[in-house]
Amino acid sequence: MTEQGLDQLRKELVDINFAILNLLNRRGRVVTEVMKVKQRGDIPVFVPEREQRMLEEILANNPGPFPDKTISHLFKEIFRASVALMESQQEQGLRISRTNRKEDLRIRIGKRELGGDPVVIAGPCAVESESQMEMVAADLARLGIGFLRGGTFKPRSSPYAFQGMGEPGLEILRRVARKHDLVSVTEVMDTRTVDLVAGYADVLQIGARNMYNYALLREVGRCDKPVLLKRGLSATIDEFLWAAEYIVSEGNGNVILCERGIRTFERQTRNTLDISAVPLLRMKTYLPVIVDVSHAAGRKDILAPLARAALAAGANGIMVEVHPFPAVARSDSQQQLDIEEFREFLEQTGLSAPSAADGATRTP
- Where on the chain is the footprint of ligand PEP (CB under 6 A)? 125, 151, 155, 187, 207-209, 230, 260, 292, 295
Whole-Å CA distances, 331 to 7, 39, 65, 161, 298:
77, 44, 70, 8, 12
Specify the residue, 133 or 208, whose C-beta has the smaller distance to ligand PEP: 208
Partner from Mn ion, ligand PEP, none contacting 260, C-beta within 5 to 8 A by type: ligand PEP
Specify the residue, 26 or 299, whose C-beta has the smaller distance to ligand PEP: 299
Specify the residue, 219 or 321, whose C-beta has the smaller distance to ligand PEP: 321
Nearest approach in angstroms of CB 237 to ligand PEP is 16
Q: Find residue 229's DSSP bridge partners.
A: 206, 257
Nearest approach in angstroms of CB 340 to ligand PEP is 22
Nearest approach in angstroms of CB 258 to ligand PEP is 7
d(CA 310, CA 317): 8
Distance linking the first and last C-alpha atoms of the chain: 70
d(CA 193, CA 188): 7
Look at the chain and count its residues: 364
Partner from ligand PEP, Mn ion, none contacting 317, C-beta within 5 to 8 A by type: none
Nearest approach in angstroms of CB 158 to ligand PEP is 14
Q: What CA dihedral angle connects 184, 186, 191 and 197, to 10 degrees? A: -40
Partner from ligand PEP, Mn ion, none contacting 187, C-beta within 5 to 8 A by type: ligand PEP
Give me the residue whose beta carbon is nearest to ligand PEP: 207
Specify the residue, 176 or 229, whose C-beta has the smaller distance to ligand PEP: 229
Specify the residue, 98 or 270, whose C-beta has the smaller distance to Mn ion: 270
Whole-Å CA distances, 305 to 33, 114, 122, 273, 318:
47, 22, 17, 12, 12
Nearest approach in angstroms of CB 277 to Mn ion is 20
Give me the residue whose beta carbon is nearest to Mn ion: 125
Partner from ligand PEP, Mn ion, none contacting 207, C-beta within 5 to 8 A by type: ligand PEP
What residue ranges bind Mn ion (CB under 5 A)?
Answer: 125, 332
Nearest approach in angstroms of CB 75 to Mn ion is 51
Nearest approach in angstroms of CB 230 to ligand PEP is 4
Give the dihedral sign, CA 267/309/239/225.
positive
Specify the residue, 270 or 282, whose C-beta has the smaller distance to Mn ion: 270
Specify the residue, 35 or 275, whose C-beta has the smaller distance to ligand PEP: 275
Q: Which residues contact 323 (CB under 8 A, 6 or more apart)?
A: 124, 125, 132, 136, 329, 333, 336, 337, 338
Specify the residue, 69 or 267, whose C-beta has the smaller distance to ligand PEP: 267
Nearest approach in angstroms of CB 125 to ligand PEP is 6
